[in-house]
Structure formats: structure tokens, C-alpha cells
Structure 1
Amino acid sequence: MKRNINIFEFPLNLGLTKKEHETEPGVRKLPDWLRKFDFHNRIDPKNVFRLDAPEYSLDFDEVSKVRNANQIIEYAQKQADCILQNYEKNAFNIILGGDCSILIGNAVALKKLGNFGLFYLDGHTDFIPPELSETGGAAGMDLAIITGTGHKKLTDISGLKPYLSEENIFCCGNAETDDEEYVNQIINSDIHYFDLYRLRENGFRKTVDDFLKMVNDKGLDGFFIHLDADVLKDEIMPAVDSRMEDGINYNDLREMLETLFENPLCFGIEITILDPDYDESGTYTQPFVDNLIQIIKNKEE
């Protein structure tokens, strides 16, 4: 059955700390940037919903030790409301960031809808407590926050902690493997962890099949996909906040996403971190859009 597609635009950049040369991180331009490359027209969604984000700031919240915590919480609540008010049971949802902290609001919405799994595809784990963060940016700890690590302000919005259970998550693609303290955080959790090298070793399709088997065996209500553009090799996607040289290629991405998209339990995907300011000519964005469109269109055939 062909599913309706809805696009949600959440151009939040409060989860990132701006670099010295920036006035603010450019990821908030991502939805409009993708529109310039005809992403929306080619997807032909039934609806497009947008929630504009607050102005950028560098506020440090002493209670949670996370920058812009109060604004991120308020935005997450509005995000969840936006998703739930426009929820269609059989629709496929494409959620455009923004930075990775949009996962918080998306996860709150999912918790209100049921018990969901998460296929987390990212060049980093984003699974650390605030004490280990050098910047205090929520985008570097979003996976930890949604599973309950960190201050309750962020982890227990509306008393819903955890928004997603560790054991229902596959975290795949981390290339930042040299920092033992960083990696140990996720190794010592109940998350199914496949760093980039283990992901290759296990096989892209097999890893997805293992995830879908878990979803079915546990009788989950559905699952969601997180795609951070920095999971791609630097040579094909350098337009990201925190570059890693190694990563997957578009064939690897297709091998995973096509199988996930075909599954009727797939709620949708969030796309984060591609920064238009680092790709002014669109050299890297055009193939990114073309590959995503092809994968999504294959889902409908």
C-alpha cells in the first residue's frame, strides 16, 4: 500500500555551539536549503508542517549543564504537539532538522504514541552525560537524553522518562572510536551498538534485519530512523558540524534505508546536521538529495 508522506520542518540549532567564525550554526537553514534542490517537489508530500525555532543563543543552564536547555525543552514540547496534532496512522514522516537535539521532541511524541524502537545512524554515538561534554551542546548527547541519562529537566519532560528504551535502540556508524571514555558510555548501556567497523563486519543489510527482528520479537508499536549526515564519508559529505574522515557511502546507506522504509512499522526518518553554510555551491547536497529521493521513491514502488 502506498503511504502518504508528510514533511515536518524543525530548523532548530540550539543544540550546537557555534564555531568562532560563525554567528550561528547554519543547520537551521536545512529545510529551506533542501527545498532549493527540489527535495519537497520530488517527494510530493501530502502536507508540510513547520515549527520555527527560537533565536540562537549560547545560554548555559547551570542546573542541567546543557546549553539552551530551557529553550530546547519548550521547543521539544511544541514539536511533540505538532507531530501529534498532525499524526496520520499510515503516513510516512520525513522530519527535517536542525541539529540532533530535535530527536528529543520527536521521541516525546513517539512515547505518547506507544513503545517505539530507534535505528540511530550517526558518525557519533551522542551518548554521553553532560559532564563529558566539552561544549554543553544537546546535539552531542541527544541519544543519552532520550534514554534517560542527564538531568530530569531534559530526560523527564511531562514525566515520560525514558522516551525510548535503551534495549530498543540500534546505534550504528560511530567513527569516533579512539576515545575510550566516550565509547565506554554506550558499551556499558543496553543499546545495541555497532560502531562503523562492526557495522561493516556484521553487514549493512544483516544489521537492519537484526533490528527488524528485534522490533517484531518485542511487538513494538513501530520504529523511527535518525540519520545524521556526518555518518557519510567525509569525501562525500563534509558539510557537517563535526567531521569524521571515515564513514559509509551511498550504496551502504541505500542498503539499510530501503529495507527499513519498506517496513510498514516505520514511522519515518529525521535528517539532521547537513549545514548549507559549508556547501554553498551544493556540490555535496545535490547527490545527498538525489540518493534520498531514489531510496524514498523505491519504497513506493
Structure 2
Amino acid sequence: MKRDINIFEFPLNLGLKKKEHEIEPGVRKLPDGFRKFDFHKEINPQNIFRLDAPDYSMEIDQESGVLNAEGIIEYAKEQADFISENHKEDAFNIILGGDCSILIGTALALKKLGNFGLFYLDGHTDFIPAHLSETAAAAGMDLAIITGTGHEKLTDIQGLKPYFLEENIYCAGNAETDDDEYVQQIIHSDIHYFDLYELRKNGFGKTAGDFLKMVYSKALDGFFIHLDVDVLSDELMPAVDSRMDDGIDYTNLREILKPLVHSPLCFGIEITVLNPDDDKAGSYTQPFVKNLIQIIKNKED
């Protein structure tokens, strides 16, 4: 990559409901887990920025029905300002979570910068309102929130609703297709939706290419990539909050991400939900880090 690279660390875990065996969700350790396997060293960014997150809690917001809504909103505002103050116009930005709710803060920042597209690569759609959520966790409804579905205290922060237009979004990789009510939410939206079956059928490289054609045809100001590591098969990445058997492999990941990451219109990529507490030996984190470095640096195996 010829562009300068910045790394932003947003170790937020308020968007997840903790498991019974947990003190708190371990996804907040993702940036440190990456550093352990030399991600930062190999990427060699111009800058590393970090915004520490508030302490974990399990507080249900009565207005929105969303877990820790107030804390997530305040962090999103700080995150948006933090990105706006520190990003450089021609830099590629790597954002390390944290859970998927960090997308809200990034979305706020991008809305202030212009009209952006979003490539949402995730093992779930995360496109449901709070009343359909079993956990009330924002990480499971972040795509809905950023497009305007949900309580306005989350969807209309600073009067910026919607942060992304549905028609400027590709959502790809959902393997949770057996819940009809869950899936119907996104099918009836204007989001370009490719579940795991359709993604394979359409082709990984072609799907990325089609998205780029859309970005250019609409003359968007740029686009952003969301990557939840649970889009990978459970065999490759079980250290996630919500495990599923099916998913893509690293060859698929390279095929879909390389044309996106190396587009001059790509603002950056965020990585979410990898939990180092579930992979203390690094058996799954290390190969992921290696593959991500290869994709970003445009290296072969």
C-alpha cells in the first residue's frame, strides 16, 4: 500500500451482553492481542491513536431498550470527534475494536465528511430493531442503527440521521439464514444483501467489483469496510461472540478484501469481535493477523 496508514484503537465492549462465565466481554483486548502478534509492527503505521472505553456495565436503557445505550452514544460522539481530529485526507485508516457498535462512531465521523458507502462483511446482518434482539446488545443491531432503524437517541445523534443511506451499503456473508423474521428485516430494506449462499454464487471478487462500480457510479465521497471476524468459518475463527459453523475461508477473504482495501476511495477498515480471552494461545488470532497484513500490504503467502 502506497498510502500512509493510521491505526485507531477503540476497545469498546458495551455493545455486547457478557456471557455467564465472563466478567466482561473480552473483545476490548483485541488491539492488544493484535500487537502481541506484531500487527502494528508489520503494518508500521504513521500514527497509532487510542480512545479508551468506559468500564463495562449491563444497564438496559429504558427508552431505547438497548444495553448500555447512554455509554455507547457518548463514546460514539467522542470517537467521531477523535477520528475527525486525527485522520489525514489521503491516509488509510485501520480501526481495531471492540465490538460492532464502534461502527456508530465511525459512521458519525464519515457523515460529517460527506456521502460514503459501506461494505459490511459479517456473519450476521446486525439489521434488526431492539424488540427483535434476544440480548438487547447494540453490536447485534449496529447496521440497523446507522441506517436509521431504532430509537432516535441512537439513530439521530447530533441530528445526523441516517449516517449511511441503505442504498449505498453492501451487506455480505450472513450465515444465520434460518431465522425468517431476522432475515426479512434486511430483505425488505434498500441494502444490497448477499447472504453466504448468494455471496458464493455471485463470487467474492465480483461482489467487491460490483460494489466499487456502485461507489463510482454514484460519485460517492468514499467508502468504509466493516469486518466482523465471525464471517470466517468456525474452524478458522471460533474466538467470537456468536459462533456459527459455516463461513468463508482466507482465500475468500483475500479475494473480496484486496480490491476494496486498495481502492483509493477506501477510507479504511474496522475489525471487530475477535476475543483474545477465547484464544489465549493465539492459535486463531495469529493466522488472522498474518492474513490481514498480507491483504493490506498486498503480499502473497
Scaled by the length of structure 1, the TM-score of the pair is: 0.99
Report the counterpart of residue 260 of structure 2 in structure 1: 260
Matches of 2:262 and 2:95, distance apart in 1: 17
Residue 155 (structure 2) aligns with: 155
Describe the superposition over 1:63-98 as per-residue Cα deviations: whole angstroms up to 9, x where unpaired: 011010000000000000000001211000000000
Equivalent residue number for residue 52 of structure 2: 52
- SS of 2:20's equivalent in the other structure is coil
CA distance in 2, matches of 1:63, 1:262: 42
Please give the residue correspondences for 1:33-182 in structure 2 after superposition, counting only pairs within 5 Å. 33-182=33-182
Measure the CA separation in 1 of the matches of 2:61 and 2:139. Answer: 15
Q: How far off its partner does 1:261 sit?
A: 1.3
SS of residue matched to 2:298: helix
Task: Please give the alpha-carbon distance, in whole angstroms, between the structure 1 residues aligned to 2:298 and 2:182.
Answer: 37
In structure 2, the partner of 1:184 is 184
Q: Secondary structure at the match of 1:60?
A: coil
Post-superposition offset of 1:117: 0.2
Count of residue correspondences: 300
> Partners of 1:6 and 1:292 in 2: how far apart?
15
1:31 equivalenced with 2:31 (yes/no)? yes
- Separation in 1, partners of 2:252, 2:135: 31
Deviation, structure 1 residue 262:
1.5
- What is the SS of the residue equivalent to 1:61? coil
The equivalent residue for 1:277 is 277
Q: Deviations over 1:209-242 (max 9, x none)?
A: 1100100010000000000000000000000000
Matches within 5 A, 1:157-236: 157-236=157-236
1:106 corresponds to which letter in structure 2?
T
Distance 1:87 1:286 in 2: 28
Shift of 1:2: 1.4
Backbone CA RMSD of aligned residues: 1.0
5+ residue gaps, structure 1, are: none
SS in structure 2 opposite 1:199? helix
Other structure's SS at 1:247 match: coil
Identity, % of aligned positions: 76
